[in-house]
Amino acid sequence: MRLDLEESSITRVSFDFAVTLLLSNGAEMRIETEGVFTPPIGDEVGFDPEDARPVAGVLLGLLREDVSLAEAGDHGALRIRTKTGMEVNVVSSPDYEAWGIVWPDGRRVICMPGGELAIWDLPEQHERSDSR
């Protein structure tokens, strides 16, 4: 499933008990379970969002990167790739929500425990018409 983040750039990378990416299109992505960061050159680096301190500097490399691919695959696997070849991959968790994305227009996708995707589409627009 395409996640409609392509052509956006990553404008903020923050850390608490998740790794959060804010994108130029206003979308916010929270990664709450372990993932893998792969640089264009070098070895992949595993990260745990609950304590990203050991790899925070590496993950900050995503800052100002343009997204070329963003998709949710089989069983809730998240794949983000930048135009320079950086990649973030997150698999689902059997026990927790692994990741989620919220767009400013109200759309939302959450990877539920076990990998099922919960999807909220655009809120319905109710048009008022005056019948005067």
- Please indicate, yes or no, if residue 131 is contained in any of the structural domains: no
- Please indicate, yes or no, if residue 4 is contained in any of the structural domains: no
- Please indicate, yes or no, if residue 3 is contained in any of the structural domains: no
Tell me: pLDDT of 2 over 80. Answer: yes
Helices (H) and strands (E) in the chain, counts: 1, 11
pLDDT at 122: 74
Tell me: pLDDT of 130 over 50. Answer: no
- Please indicate, yes or no, if residue 102 is contained in any of the structural domains: yes
- Please indicate, yes or no, if residue 62 is contained in any of the structural domains: yes
For the whole model, what pTM was predicted? 0.88
**Collapsing DSSP states into helix, strand and coil, what is residue 122?**
coil
- Please indicate, yes or no, if residue 5 is contained in any of the structural domains: no
Mean pLDDT taken over the chain: 92
Amino acid at 98: A
Which residue reads 């800052």 in tokens?
63
- Please indicate, yes or no, if residue 81 is contained in any of the structural domains: yes
pLDDT at 3: 95
What does the pLDDT look like over 25-37, one tens digit per residue? 999 999 999 999 9
* Residue numbers of the domain that contains 110: 10-120
Tell me: pLDDT of 64 over 50. Answer: yes
- Please indicate, yes or no, if residue 130 is contained in any of the structural domains: no
Number of domains, the chain: 1
Report the alpha-carbon distance of residue 93 to residue 98 in Å, rounded.
Answer: 6
**49: phi then psi, degrees, rounded to nearest 5:** -60, -25
